[in-house]
Structure 1
Amino acid sequence: MSGTCSSFSPSEEEIGAADLQDTNTNQRKPAGWKAMPFVLGNETFERLASFGLMANFMVYLQSEYHMNQVKAATLLNTWSAASNFAPVIGAYVSDAFIGKFWTIAFGSFSSLLGMIIMTVTALLPQLRPPPCSHEGQLQGQCVGQNKAQLGILIASLCWLSIGTGGIRPCSIPFSVDQFDLTTEEGRKGNNSFYNLYYTTQTIVLLITQTVVVYIQNDISWALGFGIPTLCMLFAIVLFFVGTKVYIYIKPEGSVFAAVAQVFVAAYKKRQLNLPVDEVDGQFYNPPFSRSLLLELHPTRQYSCLNKAALIVGDEVKQDGLCENPWRLCSVQQVEDVKCLINIIPIWLTSVLGFLAMNQQGTFTVAQALKMDLHFGPSIKIPAGSVGVITLIAIAIWLPF
C-alpha cells in the first residue's frame, strides 16, 4: 500500500518495462524457482524443527516434569495461543520497520535459541524434577518441578513463540516476492509453489510424528530434541546462503494504518455518488512503488469503499502528493481491503477446525497415554504418534 500520491496511472506496457528497474528491490529480476531451494529448504527444516519439538511435548511434560493432564494441557494451550498471536506483531514489525527478510532471520535465531534451551532441559537432569516411576505418576506421588525449572521451560517456550511470530507471517509472502507476478510464468510458478509448500509440510509432519517421536520416547529425549535443533540451525544456514538470489521488498508502512485509512476516507465521503463511467483521473491510482505487481482497477464489489479513492477537488496537489491520506486512498489500498474482507468468512469458519486440530497435541495424546498401544508382542505405537492417522488422511486427500 503506497503512501505516495500521484494522479498518474501507468499502463501495463509501462509496468512491464519497469520490471527490471524496481526501486524498492535490489535492481534485478525475480529469480522465481531458482530461489525456491533456499526458501523452501529453509521452510522445510524449520517446520521439521518446530513440529519435531511440539509433536511429543505433551508426553515430555507429563513424563519428565510430572505435570498432570490439566496443567500440561493448560501450558501447551497458552503457548499455542501466544504463538498464534505473535505473527500479528511480527507482521506489523515486518511491514513497518525491518522487512520480511530480517523478520524471518530474527525469528529463526529466536526459534533456535528456544530449541537450544529445550534441548538443554532434556540433557541436564538438574533442570528437571527427579525421576519417578510410572506407578508413582499414576498415583500423584512424584516430586513436581520447582520455580526455577518451570521458569527455564517457559523461557524456551517464549523464545519459540517469538520465533514463530517472525517466521510464520513472512515466510510465504517472502516466497511470493521471488516470483514476477506481472508475467504468466511467474503467476504459474507462484500457484505451483503453494501446492508444493503444503504437500511438503504434510510430509514433514509425518516424519516428525513417526521418526522423531520414536527417538524421543525410546532412545533419548536429548537426542530427540537435538535433531530438530540441528535442523533449525541448518535452516538458518540455508536461508542465508540464498541472500544473493533473493528479491528484497522494503517496508511500506503499517498495514493496519492503511486499512483504517480506507474505512475513514470512505466514511468521510459517504454522501458522494460514484461516477457511472470510470474515467481516468476520477479515482486515485498512483504508480506502484513495486513494479512486480499488476495494475488494479476499481471493482464493483463493496463499491461503497471505492469512495475512499474518489478524487474530490484539490486532494492531489500539483507536486503529486496527497493532501490528506485519511481522505484519499489509492485503488491499491481499497482493493487490498476488499481482499481482506473476503478472507474473514474463511477465517471464522476455520476457528472450529483449528480448535479440533489443537486437541491433537493435548487431549488426544493424554488419552493415548492411558491406552494399550501395543500391536503384537514387539510393536508399540508412541502416544505422540497417534496424530499420524489424521496426517495420513490429509496426505491422501490433499492432492485432490
Structure 2
Amino acid sequence: MDDTITNSCNTETQMPSSDGKRGGWITFPFIIGAMAGLSLASAGCLANLIVYLIQEFNIKSITAAQISNVLNGCSFLFPVIGAIITDSFSSSFSVISISSGISLMGTVLFTLTAAVDTLRPKPCTEELNMCKPPSKFQYLVLYIGIALIAIGIGGTRFTISTMGANQFDKPENQGIFFNWYFFTLYTASVVSITGIVYIQDSVSWALGFGLCGVASLTGLTIFLSGYRFYRHDKPQGSPFVDLARVLIASIRKWKLQLSSRTEDYYGGHDGIAPVLVAATPGGNQRFFNRAALIVEGDIQPNGVIAKPWRLCTVKQIEDFKTVLRILPLWSTAIFLGTPIAIQSSLTVLQALSMDRHLGPHFKIPAGSILVIAVISSSISLTLIDRVLCPAWQKLSSGTPTPLQRIGVGHVFNVLSMAVSALVESKRLKTARNHHFQDRQNSIVSSVGTMALSTTSFGWHWRSISFSWTGCILLSTISTVLEKHINCYDLIDYRNLFLFEHGSD
C-alpha cells in the first residue's frame, strides 16, 4: 500500500518557488532555533500548570485539572484556526511572529503572578486549615495569561513546520527538515518537563517561568533574524472555504433535480477556457451533487464562476465527500485522546500525594511524571515499527492494515484505563483496610498505566499516517500542513505527527 501511495504522489509537481533567491538550508537554523525556544517556553508553562494552580493559587485539584485540560485542548484546537488564517488572510511569517509575541506576553504574565505577591492569594495556613481562594482580579490575570499562551501556541505549533517545509522544493529535503523539527520539538519538551519543572518546584516558580519567558524571547528573536532569508508565500485560500461552499451551495439548490448529463455540471476554469467534466459526480451522497449543477446566472460568459457560494466544481464535491467518509475514522481519535487526557491529569494529581523520592536527596517533581508519556510513545513507535510489524508480517504473510492498527491502539487504550481503575481501586481498598489514608505510596504504580495509555497512540496514529485517507485527513481536516505541501510529504514523512523513523 505504501508503494502505491508513494508512486502516485511522486507524480505530483514539486512546490513552486515564489522566490528562487530565498529559502533553502540557510533558513534551517532560524526556524529550528525558533522552534526550540518556543517549545521550551510552552512546555515549561503547560507541564506544571496543575501543580502551580494547586500550590500557589489555592485552587482545588479537580478545578486545576479542568483548567489544565481546557488549555491543552485549546492548544490543539487553535492551530486549526491559525492554519485557516495563514491560508486565507496572512503569511506564515506574520502569523508566527504575532503569535510568538502573544505567547511571550502570556509567559511574562505567568512570571509576574509568581513574582508579585498581590497577583496570587496568600498561602494556606496549616494551623487554621484555611486556604483563601483567588480574588476576581487574580483570576482575571491568570486567565488572561492562560489565554495568551493558548493563542500563541495556536499560531506557532504547526504553522512554523509548514513554513519550514515550504523553504524547500525537494520532498527529500522536506523530510529531513521534518525529522529535525520533531526531534527538536520532543527534545525541548523533555528538557522543559524535567529541567524547568524541577526549577519551578525546587528553586522558584518565578525563576522557572522567567526561564520560559527568556526561551520564548530567544525563539522569537531567532525567528525574526532570518526574515531576509525566508521564502514568503502568499495566502492562497483555505480548504475549509471550499468545504463550506459545497455545503451551502447544496442547501441553496436542494429543490433542483439531479441531471445525468455531464454538461450540466461545472468542471472549473483553467484560466483560459472552461474545464470539461469527464463524468457526473459519484453516486454516494448524491444530495451534494447539486452544488455543481449549473443554473442561469451561476457562471459568467467566459466560464468563470459568478456566484462562488452557489456553484462549485465537481472536484470540490468529490473532495467534500471524501472528507465525510474520513470523519468516522477521524472521530475515533476523540475516544482515544479523552482517556489519555484524563490519565495525564489524574497521574499528576496522584503524584502529588505519592512518595516521589529517588534516594534521600532527590525528589521527582509531580509535573515531570508527564515525561513518561513522551518516552513511552517513542519506545512504542520503535517497537511497532521494528519488531511488532515485521513479526506480524512473517506470521500472517502481510502487514497489518491501517484499521487493524487503529483497533490495536484502542485495545491498548481500553487496557490502560482498566489497569488504571484496578490499581487505584486496590490502592484505595488497601489504604482503608489498613488505615493508610495519610501514607504516601510509591509513584511506580502510576508510571505503568500512563505508559500503557500512550502506547495506544503509537498504534492509532501510525496506522492513520500510513493510509491514503490519513493523507487527506492530515492535509484537509487538520490543515496542519497547508495545501502547499503535497501528498508525498504527508505519507513519506509521517513523523509529522509521530516521532518515528523508517517504514515497514
Q: Is 1:201 aligned with 2:185? A: yes
Q: Given the alignment, which residue of 27, 41, 58 partners 1:35? A: 27
2:242 match = 258
Q: How much is the aligned-residue C-alpha RMSD, in angstroms?
A: 3.6
- 1:44-63 alignment runs, 5 A limit: 44-63=36-55
Task: Name the CA distance, whole Å, in 2 between partners of 1:142 and 1:272.
Answer: 71
Q: CA deviation at 1:341?
A: 4.2
- 1:2-17 alignment runs, 5 A limit: none
Tell me if structure 2 keeps the 8 A contact 1:108–1:167.
Answer: yes
1:291 match = none
Aligned residues: 362
1:8 match = none
Q: CA deviation at 1:227?
A: 0.9
Q: Residues 92 and 399 of structure 1: is their aligned pair in 2 closer, same or farther, counting only changes over 3 Å?
A: closer
Tell me if structure 2 keeps the 8 A contact 1:112–1:229.
Answer: yes
Q: Given the alignment, which residue of 170, 174, 184 partners 1:190? A: 174
Q: Residues 302 and 235 of structure 1: is their aligned pair in 2 closer, same or farther, counting only changes over 3 Å?
A: farther
1:100 match = 92
Q: CA deviation at 1:345?
A: 4.0
Task: Name the CA distance, whole Å, in 2 between partners of 1:90 and 1:377.
Answer: 47
Q: Residues 284 and 35 of structure 1: is their aligned pair in 2 closer, same or farther, counting only changes over 3 Å?
A: same
Tell me if structure 2 keeps the 8 A contact 1:284–1:328.
Answer: no
Tell me if structure 2 keeps the 8 A contact 1:284–1:310.
Answer: no
The one-letter code matched in structure 2 to 1:74 is: Q
Structure 1 stretch displaced more, 68-77 or 332-341: 332-341
TM-score (norm 1): 0.77
Task: Name the CA distance, whole Å, in 2 between partners of 1:371 and 1:165.
Answer: 34
Tell me if structure 2 keeps the 8 A contact 1:361–1:384.
Answer: no
SS in 1 for 2:89: helix
The one-letter code matched in structure 2 to 1:368 is: A
Tell me if structure 2 keeps the 8 A contact 1:64–1:131.
Answer: yes
Task: Name the CA distance, whole Å, in 2 between partners of 1:343 and 1:194.
Answer: 25
Q: Is 1:323 aligned with 2:306? A: yes
Q: Residues 98 and 140 of structure 1: is their aligned pair in 2 closer, same or farther, counting only changes over 3 Å?
A: farther
Structure 1 runs not aligned, ≥5 long: 1-11, 181-185, 289-296
Deviations 1:122-149 (A, max 9, x none): 111222222346x56xx85222222222
2:78 match = 86
Tell me if structure 2 keeps the 8 A contact 1:58–1:361.
Answer: no
- 1:176-325 alignment runs, 5 A limit: 176-180=165-169, 186-253=170-237, 255-265=239-249, 268=253, 271-273=258-260, 283-284=267-268, 286=270, 317-319=300-302, 321-325=304-308
Task: Name the CA distance, whole Å, in 1 between partners of 2:230 and 2:293.
Answer: 37
Deviations 1:200-232 (A, max 9, x none): 322222111111111111111111111111111
1:145 match = 134
Task: Name the CA distance, whole Å, in 2 between partners of 1:173 and 1:102.
Answer: 13
Structure 2 runs not aligned, ≥5 long: 1-10, 273-277, 382-498
1:163 match = 152
Q: Residues 129 and 112 of structure 1: is their aligned pair in 2 closer, same or farther, counting only changes over 3 Å?
A: same
Q: CA deviation at 1:104?
A: 1.5
- 1:120-131 alignment runs, 5 A limit: 120-131=112-123
Task: Name the CA distance, whole Å, in 2 between partners of 1:29 and 1:264.
Answer: 42
Q: Given the alignment, which residue of 360, 383, 387 partners 1:377? A: 360
2:103 match = 111
TM-score (norm 2): 0.62
SS in 2 for 1:387: helix
Structure 1 stretch displaced more, 365-374 or 149-158: 149-158
Tell me if structure 1 keeps the 8 A contact 2:289–2:317.
Answer: yes
